[in-house]
Homo-oligomer: A and B are copies of this chain.
Amino acid sequence: MENPRDIFIAHLRRKGLFLTRERRLILEAIFSLRKHFDFDELYDTVKKRVGRVSRATIYRTIPLLIDSGLIRDVFRGTSGTQYEQVRGLEHHDHLLCVSCGSYIEFKDERIERAQQEVCKKHGFVSVDHKLGIRGYCRKCALIKRVKA
Residues of A within 8 A of B (CB): 76, 95, 97-98, 104, 106, 108, 110-111, 114-115, 117-119, 122-138, 141
Contacts and interface: CB of A to CB of B under 8 A. Distances in A.
Contacts of A134: 126-129
A108 to B, nearest CB: 5
Contacts of A110: 110-111, 114
For this chain, the copies found in one complex come to 2
B127 A98 contact: yes
B135 A127 contact: yes
A127 B96 CA distance: 10
A6 to B, nearest CB: 27
A106 B134 CA distance: 20
A70 to B, nearest CB: 19
5 closest cross-chain pairs (CB), A and B: A123-B138, A126-B135, A129-B133, A127-B135, A125-B141
